[in-house]
Structure 1
Amino acid sequence: MKYAIITGASRGLGASAAQHMLAEGIHVISVSRKENSSLKQAAEKAGAGYTHHSCDLSSDVQFQSVLTAIASDIFKNAETVYVINNAGVIEPIEVAGELDASLVQTNVQVNLTAPILISNLFLQKAKETGTRVIITNVTSGAAERPIQGWSIYCSTKAAVNMFTMTAGLELESNGSSSKVIAFSPGIMDTDMQVTIRSSSEESFADVNTFRNYKESGSLRSPDTVAGALVKLVLAENLENGKIYKVNDLL
């Protein structure tokens, strides 16, 4: 059986990716604080399996317990396991010297620590069982350039990119059939964009640029981006450690 574990699947890109995976007949396991009821309906329509696990990824103990339970269950009969580390937070949006310590810790936990530990767990299970695992870490263009007010978001996404490239290199060196890639989705019309647009100019110098993205209709729909993402991860010619950008796929 094929499984797709998707974090942050309650809305935005994660929810849309789950919809596309279900349409492919893949059993989707949603991991998020809240459940998206439309996914259960989509699963019934597609005749595909669907399971939701409520989990706060900012809680180290909670997410490790939930993901360990998921891994122990699915690797009993899994043929291929897709993991999409999609959950992410943009806050704190603030200049250095004004950062909220608790928001910094949450950002690092959700954006960086969780994807690394989830990847580590599933690669370990893949090695033990001989199962093929395809891991996709959702990254950002912010990983490649400094953006005023986004020091923590830029830093965690840059670290995700380096982890992806290094893990991919290691898998290639070991002759593994598993893959680890990153996917940069560009700018989408999501709740994260709402948070960005609500920032002050003092905290985020480019806020008017992002407000203009919305006003000019420049934001892609999560469904369009998710379609490109799912088509990518289901392809047979993935390059280990590569950072794929949506603009090159559409």
Structure 2
Amino acid sequence: MGSRYLIITGTSRGIGRQLAELCLEKGDVVYGIARGTSDLGDTYERYTHVQFDVEDIHSIDDLISGILEQIPLPDVECIGLINNAAMLEPLKPIDQCLADEISVQLNISLAAPMILTSSFIHYTNHMTAQRKIINVSSGSGSYPAPSMAAYCTSKAGIDMFTKCVAMEQVSQPNPVHIIAFDPGMVDTELQAVAREKDAEEFVLSSVFQEAYESGQLKSPRDVAHDILMLLEESGDPVKSN
């Protein structure tokens, strides 16, 4: 029986790091992509850290092809991509957002997952192994919020993108199973950024603070476990969660 190989973005902290640890504990081979460093490789020999800023969208294709070249095809039973990395800011009314701030947000949270997905499918189309993609979404993709226009738009885009790719894959001989997963409110650094914002600039900061203080936030470990369960499912190519 072959191994499961996973490419996970945002593994230097939060959900991405917890997911990488859980998968490594299961015996998976993990390639972690993050702007920051990671010490997971010190503990797990099956972990490879790739320090890379996904804002650099024009280098993503080379990044993915380079990672996939390292994977021994005969050993692959399942191969997956988990698009977890995202950016919350800018958190302010749209008329106060600069073009550069909007561009960075859309590149990291929307364009990068789209290009990662495109490259992953392209470079694995010759494989007979099972292929899976999980795009970490958010309720913000369905529920509009003041001062969160860029983030909400990115997450709405992720949801629609996932549905479109799923429709493309249905007729393929070895379809990619692609899922958009909404983890709910999670106690991550993104949440900390939101609740520490000045209320005059970000009107929902008190809502985020209240959710934190009242214990409504899920732990990154619990969410990582939910994602791991989705990876374990066989399922249909068309799926949302």
Distance 1:65 1:198 in 2: 37
The amino acid of 1:43's aligned partner reads Y
1:159-195 Cα deviation digits (max 9, x unpaired) = 1111101111111132434211111111111100111
Say which of 48, 52, 75 aligns to 2:49: 52
Shift of the alpha carbon at 1:124? 1.4
* Structure 2 contact 81–133 (Cα < 8 Å) conserved: yes
Specify the alignment match of 1:26 in structure 2: 28
* Structure 1 contact 5–30 (Cα < 8 Å) conserved: yes
Shift of the alpha carbon at 1:66? 2.0
CA RMSD of aligned residues (A): 1.6
User: Helix, strand or coil: the match of 1:182?
Assistant: strand
Shift of the alpha carbon at 1:79? 2.6
Count of aligned positions = 238
Specify the alignment match of 1:136 in structure 2: 134
Distance 2:71 2:131 in 1: 12
Distance 2:217 2:43 in 1: 25
Distance 1:63 1:236 in 2: 28
Distance 1:231 1:22 in 2: 14
User: Helix, strand or coil: the match of 1:181?
Assistant: strand
Specify the alignment match of 2:87 in structure 1: 89
Say which of 115, 135, 139 aligns to 2:113: 115
Distance 1:220 1:211 in 2: 14
Shift of the alpha carbon at 1:59? 1.2
Q: TM-score scaled by structure 2?
A: 0.93
Shift of the alpha carbon at 1:207? 1.4
Unaligned runs of 5+ in 2: none
Specify the alignment match of 1:248 in structure 2: none
Distance 2:30 2:155 in 1: 25
Distance 1:61 1:170 in 2: 24
Q: For structure 1, which segment, 55-64 or 92-101, has the greater mean C-alpha deviation from structure 2 after superposition? A: 55-64
Specify the alignment match of 1:7 in structure 2: 9
* Structure 1 contact 75–129 (Cα < 8 Å) conserved: no
1:123-179 Cα deviation digits (max 9, x unpaired) = 112222333210000010000011101101011111111110111111113243421
Specify the alignment match of 2:225 in structure 1: 227
Superposition pairs of residues 1-250 of structure 1, within 5 angstroms? 1-37=3-39, 39-44=40-45, 49-74=46-71, 76-77=73-74, 78-237=76-235, 239-244=236-241
Shift of the alpha carbon at 1:106? 0.9
User: Helix, strand or coil: the match of 1:81?
Assistant: strand
Distance 2:18 2:129 in 1: 26
User: Helix, strand or coil: the match of 1:173?
Assistant: coil
